[in-house]
A = this chain, B = another copy of it.
């Protein structure tokens, strides 16, 4: 014995969300049915619309339902001649929230991972190559994650971008602000020493 078909469907469908198993799905379904039908209906609409209409920006590949995302469509963002390469739209948002960077982005939507069969074309490096060739860039900033795959991807893009004559940089890695040296791992500490600056 289970619930009625519609409630069962809802509980099953909720389990497509990351980190949601049968128990949490049941709790979510009951919470929505009991206390927040409006919110549930709004979520249903938002999901249907987003899944149908959100695509990728023609230039930078981040999520947008328009042809160009808000950043690519803003002519001011192109004036700096800087292009920042990130792995995901979430990384893009984190950098935007920091408020330091005013140039454009390119979102790989992943990283090179030959073991998983993810090659250069799967992360849009052909588009990036075309983009580097089409405009003249002052600087390409590689902001992929400091993981083995992220570093390899950065290295690959650096080699590619060098042919187009742009200056290439990699974001700094080291001890995070507010972190305590005692708890920072060895690799990060080693990077923070090799990347030290003269005062």
Chain A residues within 8 Å of B, Cβ to Cβ? 1-7, 9-10, 12-14, 16-19, 24, 26-34, 36-37, 39-54, 62-66, 69-71, 88-90, 93, 96, 109
Prevailing SS type, chain A contact patch: helix
Closest B residue by C-beta to A17: B28
Given contact pairs A16-B32, A28-B17, A30-B89, A6 touches B54 in the complex (Cβ within 8 A): yes
- Give the number of copies in the complex: 2
Pairwise interchain contact A50-B93, C-beta atoms closer than 8 A? no
Pick the 5 closest A-B CB pairs, nearest first: A16-B39, A44-B47, A44-B48, A13-B46, A4-B64
Q: Given A9-B50, A44-B48, A47-B43, check contact A69 B34 (CB 8 Å).
A: no
